[in-house]
Amino acid sequence: MIIDKLKPQLDSKPEILEAVVIRFVGDSGDGMQLTGTQFSDTSAMFGNDIATFPNYPAEIRAPQGSLYGVSGFQVHIGSVEVSTPGDNLDLLVAMNPAALKTNLYALKPGHTIIVDSDSFSKKNLEKAEYTTNPLEDGSLENYRIIEVDMTSLTREALKDIEGLDNKIITRSKNMFALGMIYWMYNRSTEHTVEFLNKKFKATPNLIEANTKVLNAGYYYAETLELMPNSYSISPAKMPAGTYRIIMGNTATAWGFLAAAEKSGLELFLGSYPITPATDILHELVKHKHFGVKAFQAEDEIAGVTSAIGAAFAGDLAITTTSGPGLALKGEAIGLAVMTELPLVIVDVQRGGPSTGLPTKTEQSDLLQAMYGRNGESPVIVLAASTPANCFNFAYEAARLALEHMTPVILLTDGYIANGSAPWKIKTVAEMPAIKNNKITEVKENWHSYDRDATTLARNWAVPGTLGLEHRIGGLEKDSVTGNISYDAVNHEKMTTIRSEKIKRVQFNIPDLETEFAQEGDLLVIGWGGTYGSLHSAVKQINMEGYKNIGYAHFNYINPLPKNTGEILSKFKKIVVCELNSGQFASVLKINFDTFEFLQFNKIQGLPFGSNDLIRKFKELV
Amino acid sequence: METTIDQKYTSKDFTSNQEVRWCPGCDDYVILRTMQKVLPEMGVAKENVVFVSGIGCSSRFPYYMETYGIHSIHGRAPGIATGVKLANPNLSVWIATGDGDAMAIGGNHFIHVLRRNIDLNIILFNNEIYGLTKGQFSPTSLIGQKTKSSPYGNTQPPFSPGELALGAQARFFARVVGNSPKEMGQIFIEAHQFKGTSLIEVLQNCVIFNDGCYDQISDKEVKEDKQIFLEHGKPMIFGKNRDKGLVLNGLKLEVVTIGENGITQEDILIHNAKEKDTTLHHMLIKLEYPLATGVIRSFDDVTLEEREAALTAQVKANSPFTKTDDLFFSGETYEVK
């Protein structure tokens, strides 16, 4: 039943670990997302820091047992700060041969695989394109394999419960695996039992069945003497407070909810479904109780134009999309630049060009966000860097759009948008104030393009305000009267004003900070969703004794923080790491042409791996 | 819901200080003056009126109206107008668009705004040509029409805006010829009063690139004989002598003369614009002689914003959340000490 290929360790005290990376993989229908989520939630509530990443096939219902139908969920839990879902696995839970075959590459040598040996039938082995059974042919010699007849054990556990068909029984086996893992990592089943009670409220026999299988797995792991050892991961030292687990896209949606409440404006979303941004739409349509107006438009263009209409009419207006959608919205964003209306555009980046890699991550829309419009049309560009801080940067994007009367493009990516992490809940009261430029008073000689002397933000007179009737539009406007103007000098003046307005945002954003070395031999630069991998790589290399390496991460792309040049000047070498072929590096080159920017790039639809980064950094110093 | 007011305006109150720059003799002037003339009769506060346009000659319209306005990008006025109306349903929202703007580049938005039935009004300036880009064929240009981009004659069959609109579930469709300001004004008022998306097709002459395109039906001498102005609840009678009428012959509309072949006024069809079934409205739209003008269809239906408001009220009544903090702290949270 259990074949321990390595020598059993007889130590009965749980081994204390700092962090562990586990991947649950199975068929799309095996409930791996649920199993992974339950394990990570329970661990977070225990006090661990966590980072998770779901990975499911593009096919909605792929054939059972097939290689491309494998669905996975990876979780990284730690007693220390955890900033990525992890590179290499400590434990792989594989529910069938296809899942084993497609995921084995990520497991560290010598580490553990738990398999449902019942699923290693001739038919399933063929579907996974195995010519011999890997459990028998010795090919897994370098790993510790725990074979469990999970399907039969689940069936056995459920034999006394009436009214369960075969399908339900098979579907419960994920609970068996979960129960085993709970015991192995010293976690209580309590949270999952509560969850099952809620989920199957209407069908008590399913509560009973799932709970029974969960406990069966737990006790099975406990009673088996051959089980190698159990692991314990102590709670992480995290700031005190109330937490919840949040996905990046949900955090983005909630940041806008908070910004709307804080600013006293109604929230309008115009959006069209596109992977991997659609979850923001899914989240915001739920919140009609806060007066959210979420409009699913006929296309990307109507998504952004409806938001522009809502902005003209006085709402906090946003539109959400991914790279191909941002391309379609380009002309309309130019209109918002010209009419100087507050608008937030969220681009959850994915692999491109064209349809590219819809479910994979990439940072290749940066230059599109910066320059992807006709004419000179500067906008504010921000980038969130973790699932939880999508909340902060959505809020920040709304604040800057309203305070500066301009479109703001917020870049996130598939990796942080779908990943989840603990979020120390913020109340609306503790968020920074948001001013806006609305006017209701009729002043003599008023013009629609009258500006704030400091920020250059245009004032915002919305329809329904008596005495401030005016017309705006895409044609160039006279800098004083706001009427159409084809005057040559005026056009140059307005172009300069639009550019200067964005530059002055520098004074309304925080300075760039450096982590680890504040000066020295190498400055590692990153931006957006790579924070987790870069931060942990620099941290590790620092612990290895490389105290001469600093790390600066950019969330403000346009304008750049005003102390950027000063920080660059404190290091001998600079390396810009990004998941594209050097887009941010080129932005930095344009702005700081006296520095040399080395590059480290990856364009594989995947996040950086720590080992590659560390190797590169060592090479550079 | 739009609120009505007692304030008395004149057409001057709706005239902006901008110099109108359309070609002399263009029917656009008629549409503009008619709008400025009838807006005071609608009882809507000036600050609550918004004109939205795309690109094209017609799309300069908002600049000339002393109301709120946004001159947007080519084809996208329905999207902008939808956002304006959903953000503030109290506004009276108007779209000024042309045959190219609405049916070529903006075709997708045009059909979807009609389908959704948001309470706004669309004036479609149809001159069967691109004017602003100086004379290319449009989606309503006729086969064989010689234009700058079809020097040997147009080979692309045209849309019929009314049929397209009905196919897209339009609840309100009216048609009027550019030289009939009285009828046009009456239609604008009816469109404003109608709750839902109203589409008004104005058959409008382009003096430069398509001059005389509607002469055969709009010339003073032939107008009354070539057009039938439809009014809800009234018999379908037309002609200088008011002796021509429409009857149904099998599956076709037929023109008959009252007093000939035993036809009396009782035999003439009564126009029912409020009928849900579109069959007869389709026939009227397709009729070549006489050309049907007036409000052809005006079917009352629930608007998008009414549905949204009802749903929002229902969700609010059943929601445990009043502030975002309630949401953030709901469900599974945990304490770190």
Please check whether residues A268 and A375 belong to one and the same domain. Answer: yes
CB B63 within 8 A of CB B18: yes
Handedness of CA A429, A434, A435, A440 (dihedral sign): negative
Position B169 scores a pLDDT of 98
pLDDT, tens digit (0-9, with 9 covering 90-100), for A403-423: 999 999 999 999 999 999 999
Closest-CA distance of chain B to residue A220, Å: 28
- Please choose, from the candidates A375, A457, A379, the residue with its C-alpha nearest in 3D space to the C-alpha of residue A411: A379
Q: What angle do CA A366, A370, A375 make, to 5 degrees?
A: 145
In this structure, are residues A461 and A447 in contact, taking their beta carbons and an 8 Å threshold?
no
Specify the length of chain B in residues. 337
**Under an 8 A CB cutoff, do B315 and A289 touch?**
yes
Residue A614 placed within a domain: yes
Share of chain B above pLDDT 90, in %: 96
Which numeric CATH code is attached to B11-218+302-308? Answer: 3.40.50.970
Question: Is A124 in the same domain as A226?
Answer: yes
Coil, helix or strand for A80? coil
Report the SS3 class of residue A371: helix
- Does a cis peptide bond (omega within 30 degrees of 0) precede residue A353? yes
| Same-domain status, A495 and A528 | no
Domain at A127, CATH number: 3.40.920.10
Q: What are the structural domain ranges in chain B?
A: 11-218+302-308
| Residue A609 per-residue DSSP state | P
d(CA B33, CA B181): 9
Of B311, B329, B336, the CB nearest to A47: B336
Residue A423 falls within a domain, yes or no?
yes
pLDDT, mean of residues B140-146? 97
Q: Which domain holds residue A36?
A: 15-233
pLDDT at A327: 98
In terms of domains, do A197 and A273 share one? no
Helix residue ranges per DSSP H, A438-504: 488-503
pLDDT at A228: 45
Kindly report the nearest CA distance between residue A538 and chain B, in angstroms.
Answer: 27
What CATH number has the domain bearing residue A611? 3.40.50.920
Residues A439 and A536 both lie in one domain = no
Query: What are A559's two structure tokens?
Result: 């304008």
For the beta carbon of residue B301, count every other beta carbon within 10 angstroms. 13
Per-position b or e across B307-321, b if 16+ CB within 10 A of its CB: ebeeebeebeeeeeb
CB contact, 8 Å: B161 with chain A? no
Q: Identify whether the C-beta of residue B284 lies closer than 8 Å to the C-beta of residue B304.
A: no
Residues 6+ positions from A472 with CB-CB distance below 8 Å? A312, A339, A341, A448, A482, B69, B70, B71
Q: Which of A305, A440, A481 to mutate to test the interface with B (most CBs of B within 10 A)?
A: A305
Question: For residue A342, which residues of chain B lie inside 8 Å, CB to CB?
Answer: none
In a domain, A243, yes or no: no
A504-to-A92, A454, A559, A561 alpha-carbon distances in Å: 51, 8, 8, 11
- Say yes or no: A98 and A133 in one domain: yes
The model's pTM is 0.92
**Distance between CA atoms of residues B114 and B95, nearest Å:** 12
If one counts the domains in chain A, the total is 3
Q: What pLDDT does residue A61 have? A: 67
Query: Quick one: how many helices (H) and strands (E) in chain B?
Result: 11, 12
- With a cut of 80, say whether residue B1 has pLDDT above it: no
Q: Are residues A121 and A258 in the same domain?
A: no
A 247-266: CB under 8 A from B: 254, 257-258, 261, 266
A-interface mutation test, from B5, B68, B169, most A Cβ less than 10 A away: B68
* Residues in Cβ contact with A13 at an 8 Å cutoff, skipping those fewer than 6 apart: none
User: Phi, psi at residue A296, to the nearest 5°?
Assistant: -85, 110
Q: What is the pLDDT of residues B200-233, one digit of tens each?
A: 999 999 999 999 999 999 999 999 999 999 999 9
Helices A173-184 and A150-157 pack at an angle, to 10 degrees, of 100
| Beta-strand runs (E) in chain B | 49-53, 68-71, 92-98, 121-126, 172-177, 198-203, 227-230, 237-238, 244-249, 252-257, 291-298, 334-336
For residue A9, tell me if it sits in a domain. Answer: no
CB distance A297 to B35 below 8 Å: no
Q: Are residues A423 and A305 in the same domain?
A: yes
CA dihedral B154, B159, B161, B162 (to 10 degrees): 130
* A473 part of contact set with chain B, CB < 8 Å: yes
Rounded to an integer, what distance in angstroms lies between the CA atom of residue B94 and that of residue B62? 9
Whether A311 and A432 map to the same domain: the answer is yes
Select from B66, B84, B332 the Cβ nearest to the Cβ of A463: B84
| Whether A165 and A306 share a structural domain | no
Mutation target vs B (from A187, A312, A486; most B CBs, 10 A cutoff): A312
CA distances (Å), origin A59, targets A27, A119, A277, B330 = 12, 22, 17, 33
Put simply, the answer to whether A243 touches B321 (Cβ < 8 Å) is no
Residue-level pLDDT at A321: 98
The pLDDT value given to residue A489:
98
- Helix B181-193 and helix B28-38: axis angle, to 10°? 50
DSSP-assigned beta bridge partners for residue A107:
A89
A302 interface with B at CB cutoff 8 Å: yes
**Chain B residues near residue A294 by CB distance under 8 angstroms:** none
Rounded to a whole number of angstroms, the distance from the CA of B85 to the nearest CA of chain A is 8
CB B79 to CB A302 under 8 A? Answer: yes
Q: pLDDT means per 10 residues in chain A (621 residues)?
A: 39 66 90 92 89 75 83 89 86 95 91 93 94 92 90 92 85 94 89 94 92 94 62 80 95 98 98 96 97 98 98 98 98 98 98 92 97 97 97 98 98 93 96 97 93 97 97 97 96 98 98 97 97 92 95 98 98 98 98 98 90 94 93
Please check whether residues A355 and A497 belong to one and the same domain. Answer: yes
Q: Looking at the predicted structure, is the pLDDT value of residue B294 above 80? A: yes
Residue B119 CA to residue B130 CA, distance in Å, equals 28
Between the alpha carbon of residue A191 and those of residues A78, A179, B151, B172, the distances in Å are 19, 12, 76, 57
> How confident is the prediction for chain B on average, in pLDDT?
96
| A178 neighbors A148 (Cβ within 8 angstroms) | no
Q: Which residues face B176 on adjacent strands? A: B202
Residue A544, class by beta-carbon neighbours within 10 Å (0-12 exposed, 13-18 middle, 19+ buried)?
exposed
Nearest chain B Cα distance for residue A47, angstroms: 7
CA atoms of A577 and A549, how far apart (whole Å): 14
- Set of chain B residues whose Cβ sits within 8 Å of the Cβ of A257: 324, 327
**Ranges of H-type helices in A241-321:** 248-263, 278-285, 300-312
**Is A264 found in the same domain as A342?**
yes
Task: Locate the chain B residue with the closest alpha carbon to A307.
Answer: B83
Contact (CB, 8 A) for A388 and A423: yes
B residues 21-80 closer than 8 Å to A (CB): 45-53, 55, 62-63, 65-73, 76, 78-80
Between CA A616 and CA A620, with CA A617 as vertex, the angle to 5 degrees is: 90
* Gap between the Cα atoms of B139 and B149, Å rounded: 13
Summarised one tens digit per residue, pLDDT across range B169-205 is: 999 999 999 999 999 999 999 999 999 999 999 999 9
Q: Do A472 and B69 touch (CB under 8 A)?
A: yes
Instruction: Please tell me the total number of residues recorded for chain A in this structure.
Output: 621
Give the max Cα distance, chain B: 97
The domain that contains A421 carries what CATH number? 3.40.50.970
- DSSP readout, A159-199? TT-TT--HHHHHHTHHHHHHHHHHHHTT--SHHHHHHHHHH
Strand partners, B68: B50
CB pairs under 8 A between A and B: 203
